[in-house]
Structure 1
Amino acid sequence: MTGHAESGSGEGQEGLWRAVVWGGAATLLLAPLVAMRFTDEVQWTKSDFVVFGVMVTVPLAVLELAVRATVSMPYRAAVAVALGAAFLMTWLNLAVGIIGNENNPFNLMFFGVLAVGIVGAFIARFQPRGMARALVAMGAAQGLAAITALVAGHSAVLLNGIFAAAWLISAWLFWKAAGDQAVVQNTG
């Protein structure tokens, strides 16, 4: 990545950040449990809680690794944007589906978009310039999924545009992190 986090005055802020983020995740996971006590409209099974727990824990653990591995704010922001968009796309796709309902086979394309990003990240070895390319590829894959859905008679252009924009914003942030890294290497 782009450098190791330094010890010092930021430790208190990082501890607060971790408490807020992980506490928010726990609250999000517990919300359906509380809602089930008051309404019959929310009916989650144990497997629903397990899937959602994994959906929340994995991106937060990856974000935690990124925060520990780099002091680059653009890199951290790029990771946060990409993981946030991936989480929302997965949640939306599993809950109600992006195309039609959650059982529509066209929705599997969106997991392909995520696969492009995951494979790209490993190929890039999580280096910022390569990550930027992987996120541009995700944006292109998102556009291809939207076009495929349109050809098949389904419309989710706005939603696909929002996700494509998130991938491209993340790519821009990774590109900025790569530029910052090059400046530090040239001056250091």
Structure 2
Amino acid sequence: MKNIRLILILLISFSLLLIPLIAMQFTDEVNWTIMDFIIAGSLLLTAGLISEFVMRKITNINFKMGLIAAILIILILIWIELAVGIFETPFAGD
């Protein structure tokens, strides 16, 4: 069961990266470079693996769900910052 979750994390991360790859074939609105795919894949895998670690190690269900929610919020905020720059850091997208 534990290894199935790891495989599922990898498959979901890969599947999510297929969305912009396929979109790039049909429109010029999506223009990702190889570095964009590497960064997005790293973010997705890191969030997934940290969530898996929390699922395995934390026994209190409320604390577990809170940590996973925090991980997802951090992932979303980083993704948005890299895409459009809501915090105006040097890493902000255009």
TM-score by length of 2: 0.79
- Aligned Cα root-mean-square deviation (Å): 2.0
**Secondary structure, counterpart of 2:88 in structure 1:** helix
Structure 2 partner of 1:34? 22
Ranked by relative contact order (alpha carbons within 8 Å, sequence separation 6 or more), the top structure is 1
CA distance in 2, matches of 1:17, 1:73: 18
Structure 2 partner of 1:107? 88
Which of 69, 74, 83 lines up with 2:57 in the alignment?
A: 69
CA distance in 2, matches of 1:26, 1:78: 26
Q: How does 1:21-170 map to 2 (within 5 A)?
A: 21-98=9-86, 106-108=87-89
Percent identical pairs in the alignment equals 30
Contact 2:43 2:75 in 1 (8 A): yes
Instruction: Give the deviation of 1:24 after TM superposition.
Output: 2.3
Structure 1, unmatched stretches of 5+, are 1-10, 99-105, 109-188
Describe the superposition over 1:116-161 as per-residue Cα deviations: whole angstroms up to 9, x where unpaired. Answer: xxxxxxxxxxxxxxxxxxxxxxxxxxxxxxxxxxxxxxxxxxxxxx
Structure 2, unmatched stretches of 5+, are 90-94
CA distance in 1, matches of 2:84, 2:28: 18
Contact 2:5 2:52 in 1 (8 A): no
Larger radius of gyration between Structure 1 and Structure 2: 1
Instruction: Give the deviation of 1:26 after TM superposition.
Output: 1.7
Instruction: Give the deviation of 1:70 after TM superposition.
Output: 2.3
CA distance in 2, matches of 1:18, 1:48: 23
One-letter code aligned to 1:74: N
